[in-house]
Structure 1
C-alpha cells in the first residue's frame, strides 16, 4: 500500500510505493499517490515465469518498429515496416506464432519468395533489416540468441552504378530554371555536396553570414542520433543566400520553402522533370553529391578532406563516391606497350584482307 515518503527527498517525491516480487521487496518514490498505486498494482512475473515468457512474431515486430520510429529517419522506418509486412505475407509464417519457433528454413523460403517476385537486392535489404530487428529482440525481448535471418546467405543481385551527371548537364539544368529559389537550391547542392533532406531542413539559424558557412544536420547512423557540422561556403553562395533572405521577408524559419510556405519533404519528381525539360539524362540529388566528390577528387583534394565535406564516418564510403569525370584517358593508354613496326605492318595486311581491300 502506498504511503507518505519519510526520507529526505519527500519534498520532491512525497509518496512511496511498495511491492513484493517473490520474497524480494521493492520501493519506489512518486510525486502523486495515484502513480504509486498504479506501480504497485502492476502484475509482475516470478523469475521462473519470465524465462518461459513467449513473444509472438507480431509483438516482436510491433515493439521493434516502435523503437525504429523513435530512433531512425522516416525513410528507414518505412523500409523496416515494409520488410515485416513482406515477411508476414509469406505462406507458412503466422504473425501470432511464437517467435522462438521461427526457423532459418522458413526465413530462407520467405526471402527466396522476395528475391523471385521483387529482386535479389530487395531480399537482401529485407534480410539485413530483419536480422537487425532480431538482434534487438534478443537484447530486449529475450528472443533466442540464434538469429535465423543471419543464417541465410545473401542472394545474387544486380548492382547498377549510380548515374552521375556531367558538369555540363548540371549547368544545362541550372540555366533552364526560371525560379530563383530553385536555382539557389541546386547551386547549394553543387557547392556543399549535401544530402537531399539536409537542405530541405536547413533553417536561417543554420546560416552564418559573418563567417560564410552553413550548418548541415543529419541522422544517418546506427543509433539514430542527430549530428550536425558547419561547412564553409564560397563567397558567391553566401551573398546569394543573403539576397534570398532579404528579398523574401515573408519566409519562415526554413531557407527553402514550397509555394505553401512549408519546408520541402520529398520533391522526388521535380529534378527528373526539369532534367527532361533541359534535354539531359535524368539525375537525382544524390547524383549531384557524387559529382561534388568527383570534382574535388579531380582537383587533387586529399581524400580525408573530401570525407570531411561529405560527413562520412568511413573513408571507404567516400571512395565509392568518386567517379571518373572523363570517359577516356589517352595518357593512361599511352603507357601500355604497343606493337613493333613489323607487327604493325603484318596486322595491317591482315586487316585489309578481311575488308577485301
Structure 2
C-alpha cells in the first residue's frame, strides 16, 4: 500500500489531492480553506482505509475539454494574447478542437486520439502547417491544465512535417518597375516604404509620423494595426530601421505634423483590402505577376542577403524573434559558403599551401 498526502488550491478553491493504492483522488473541500482541506483529506483516507466508498462525500472534478477550453480562453488567452492572437485561437477552438475533443474529459485525450485528429484533418485537405497551428493551441491549453492542477501529464503531441515553401520575391528589375510607376503616387509611396524597410503590412498601416525620425534617419516600428485593432508589433518587440537617403527624402516630402503616415481621406487607417488592391493595380500596370505585401518584405530580406549583409543584421531589421526564421533566406547567399571555404587557401590559413591542380590547368590551357 502506498499513500501520499497533499492539499492544493486551484483557482480560489481548496482540494484534497492525494494517492491511495496507486490511484489518484482529488476532491473539492466542503470547507474552502487549507485547514478544512487537510481535515477533509484525513476523512477521505480513513474511509478508504476502512474500505468504505467516498463517492457520497464528493464527486471527482472532471471537466470536458469544451468546458475547460472556455475558461482557458477567458482566463489565459484574453489576459496574455494580443487581439489578433485571441481571434486566431478562438477560431481554432470553435471550428476544430472543440468539435473533435469537446465531449472528452482532459485525461481522456491521448496520443492516439490526437493522431486520429491529425488524420481526420489531413483527409479534408488541410495543409500540415495549418494542422500544426491547431496542435500548438491544443498543447498550450493542456500545459495550462497541468499548471492549474487539472492534469498530471499531457500526451505526446507530434507535429506534422511541413514541406519547405517557396519564397516569392521581386528581382531588382521588378522593383525598379514598381517604383517607376507614378500613376497612383499614394500606393507607389507605400510600396517604396515596404521595399526599403521590410515592414509587415500591419506595421505599415500603424506607422505614425512621430515614428519617423528625420534627425537620426530612422523609422521606429512601435505598433501595428491588425484586423482593425492597434497592437504591438509581432512578438511584442519594437525595432528601429535605418532609412536610406532615397527613402528619407521620400518621407520628408510626404511629411505631416502628426497622425498616420498612410491613411484614408478622413484620417482613418487604410484597410488591408484597400492596400492589396493598390498593390495589385500597380503590379498590373507594370506587367509584374501579382505579389502580396508580405512579398515586399521577402524582397527586402532577399536583396539584403544577396548583397552579403550578415544574417544577424537581417534578423534585427526584420524583427524576427529567432534566427531560424531568417535562415529561410540563406540559400540566396551561396557565395558566403564559398568565401568561408576559400580562407583555407590563404597563406596563413589552416593548410598554408596549395593542394590543387593549378599548374596542371595552366599547362592544359597552354
Normalising by structure 2, what TM-score?
A: 0.65
Provide closer, same or farther for how the CA distance between residues 99 and 167 of structure 1 changes in structure 2, counting only shifts above 3 A. same
Distance in 2 (alpha carbons) for counterparts of 1:73 and 1:170 = 34
- Partner residue, 1:253: 259
How big is the shift at 1:70? Answer: 4.1
Distance in 2 (alpha carbons) for counterparts of 1:145 and 1:187 = 53
Provide closer, same or farther for how the CA distance between residues 100 and 279 of structure 1 changes in structure 2, counting only shifts above 3 A. same
Q: Secondary structure at the match of 2:255?
A: helix
Instruction: Report whether the alignment pairs 1:220 with 2:220.
Output: no
Q: Secondary structure at the match of 2:272?
A: coil
Provide closer, same or farther for how the CA distance between residues 325 and 297 of structure 1 changes in structure 2, counting only shifts above 3 A. closer
Q: Secondary structure at the match of 1:269?
A: helix
- Partner residue, 1:283: 291
How big is the shift at 1:191? Answer: 1.2
Instruction: Report whether the alignment pairs 1:103 with 2:103.
Output: no
Q: Deviations over 1:56-111 (max 9, x none)?
A: 31232223333334433444333322321212223xx4x35432332332222122
Contact 1:190 1:289 in 2 (8 A): yes
Contact 2:276 2:292 in 1 (8 A): no
Provide closer, same or farther for how the CA distance between residues 269 and 191 of structure 1 changes in structure 2, counting only shifts above 3 A. closer
Distance in 1 (alpha carbons) for counterparts of 2:81 and 2:183 = 36
Q: Secondary structure at the match of 1:176?
A: coil
Distance in 1 (alpha carbons) for counterparts of 2:217 and 2:326 = 25
What is the aligned counterpart of 1:264 among 247, 270, 276?
A: 270
How big is the shift at 1:215? Answer: 0.6
CA RMSD of aligned residues (A): 3.7
Q: Deviations over 1:180-236 (max 9, x none)?
A: 221221111111111221111111121112222111024433xxxx32122221233
Contact 1:189 1:288 in 2 (8 A): yes
Distance in 2 (alpha carbons) for counterparts of 1:284 and 1:124 = 24
Distance in 1 (alpha carbons) for counterparts of 2:304 and 2:311 = 9
Provide closer, same or farther for how the CA distance between residues 58 and 169 of structure 1 changes in structure 2, counting only shifts above 3 A. same
Provide closer, same or farther for how the CA distance between residues 131 and 243 of structure 1 changes in structure 2, counting only shifts above 3 A. same
Which residues of structure 1 form unaligned runs of 5+? 1-19, 23-42, 327-336, 338-357
Contact 2:188 2:282 in 1 (8 A): no
Which residues of structure 2 form unaligned runs of 5+? 1-12, 16-30, 42-57, 223-231, 335-356, 358-366
Instruction: Report whether the alignment pairs 1:76 with 2:81.
Output: no
Q: Secondary structure at the match of 1:286?
A: helix
What is the aligned counterpart of 1:236 among 239, 242, 246?
A: 246
- Partner residue, 1:115: 122
Distance in 2 (alpha carbons) for counterparts of 1:311 and 1:61 = 32
Distance in 1 (alpha carbons) for counterparts of 2:167 and 2:150 = 38
Contact 2:305 2:333 in 1 (8 A): no
Contact 1:294 1:323 in 2 (8 A): no
What is the aligned counterpart of 1:163 among 160, 164, 168?
A: 168
Provide closer, same or farther for how the CA distance between residues 306 and 121 of structure 1 changes in structure 2, counting only shifts above 3 A. closer
- Partner residue, 1:132: 140
Contact 1:115 1:122 in 2 (8 A): no
- Partner residue, 1:196: 201
Contact 1:73 1:219 in 2 (8 A): no
Contact 1:293 1:322 in 2 (8 A): no
Distance in 2 (alpha carbons) for counterparts of 1:273 and 1:320 = 29
- Partner residue, 1:40: none
Provide closer, same or farther for how the CA distance between residues 206 and 135 of structure 1 changes in structure 2, counting only shifts above 3 A. same
Size of the aligned set, in residue pairs, is 282
Q: Secondary structure at the match of 1:210?
A: coil
Provide closer, same or farther for how the CA distance between residues 121 and 56 of structure 1 changes in structure 2, counting only shifts above 3 A. same
Contact 2:219 2:241 in 1 (8 A): yes
